[in-house]
A and B are shown apart, each in its own frame.
Chain A
Amino acid sequence: MRMDLIQPFINAADAVFAESLQGPTKIGDLSMGEGAYRRKGIAALIAIKGDIEGRIILDLAPEVARKVAAILTGIESADDQVTRETVCELANMVIGNSVTLLNDQGYTFKVFPPEVHTSDQGLAGSIDTEAMVLAIETSCGEIFLNIAMHHLARRRRERNAVPVLR
C-alpha cells in the first residue's frame, strides 16, 4: 500500500484520538499483508466508494472501548449500547478526517455510515485489495485500524497504459 494513502489515516487517527481522548498518542505497529486479521473486541466498519474503494474497521478491546466511552460520554460505566455507539462515532471521525486529507491529494470518495462489525474475522488483503493493520497507543490502550482498499484510480491508469492488441 502506498505511503501517501496510509499517511492520511495515521495523521487523522492520531489527531482525532489526541483531541477526543485528551491525551498523548503514539503510532504503534503497522503490518501489511494478506493474512486475516482477528477482531480484538468492539469494532465499527465504514465503507468508502470512489477513486479508492474499500472498508475500514476501527477495533478496540472491550476494556479499552469502555474507557474511551467513559471519556467521550462522561458516563463512568457506559453500557454496551453506548460503548458501541461511541466506537462507531470515533470511527466516523477518523475515517471522515482521513478522506478529507486524501481529498486534498485529489481523491474523491463517498463515505457510508458506520456499522457495528461483529464478524470475528477482519479484512484480508488479496490480489485486488491491499490491506494493513495499524495500532495506535492512546491513554486508554491500543486502538486498531484494519484497512482494506482497492485503488481504482491507479488501476484505471494501468488499464489505460496497456496497448490494445488486435
Chain B
Amino acid sequence: MAQFAALLRKDSQPVRYLVVDDSVFARKNIIKMVQMFGGEIAGEAGDGLTAIAEFNRTKPDIVLMDITMPQMEGIEAVERIVRQHPDARIVMVSSVGYQENILAALQKGAKHFVQKPVKPEVLYEILRYVLSDDPAAVGAPVAFAGEHRS
C-alpha cells in the first residue's frame, strides 16, 4: 500500500474536502484516498445543487467534483460556486475526460481535472499542486507503490 505524507493547510490543520459524486461508491472511494492523504471530510453531495449548498455550509478547502450528475451537472455547479467564492479550489473528477469538458470546467473556474479510475498517486500530486497556491501547504510522497525511494 502506498504511503503519503499528510497534505496540510497553512495552519497545520488537515485539509477539509467536499466530495461530490452521484455514485455513493465513487464518493467512498475518493474519501478513502483523501483520508489516506491526511484529509478530513467536510461534506458530501450527490448532485450539483446539493454541492452548492454544502459548499456554503461547510466552506471546504478543496472540492472534488464529478461532472455527470442528475439535477445539476458538475460544470454548472463549479460556475455557480466560483461566482460566489472566487477563491474556491475545485478539482474535477470524471470518467469523461475529453478536451471540451476539461476546457469548459477550467473556464468556469475549476483548478484541475483527474480522470476515473482515479489512481491515488495521481490524485495526491494534483491536490499537492492545487494546494501549492497556499505557500505554506506541505506534503510530499513518502513512497509510491512499487517504487523505491532512498
Write the residues of chain A forming the contact surface with B, with a CB cutoff of 8 angstroms.
16, 19-20, 72-73, 82, 85-86, 88-89, 92-97, 99-100, 103-104, 108, 111-114
Contacts and interface: CB of A to CB of B under 8 A. Distances in A.
23 contacts: A16-B117, A73-B25, A82-B25, A85-B23, A86-B25, A89-B25, A92-B23, A93-B95, A93-B116, A93-B117, A94-B95, A95-B95, A96-B96, A96-B97, A99-B98, A100-B115, A103-B99, A104-B98, A108-B100, A111-B96, A112-B68, A113-B22, A113-B68
Task: State the 7 A-B residue pairs at the shortest beta-carbon distance, nearest first.
Answer: A96-B95, A103-B98, A96-B96, A85-B25, A93-B95, A100-B97, A89-B23
A74 B17 CA distance: 22
Interface of B: 22-26, 28-29, 68-70, 94-100, 115-117, 119
Determine chain A's interface SS by DSSP, over half rule.
helix
Which of the listed residues B24, B26, B117 has the most CB atoms from chain A within 10 Å of its own CB? B117
Contacts, number: 59
Contacts of A73: 25, 28
A147 B70 CA distance: 22
Nearest to A20: B117
Nearest to A86: B25
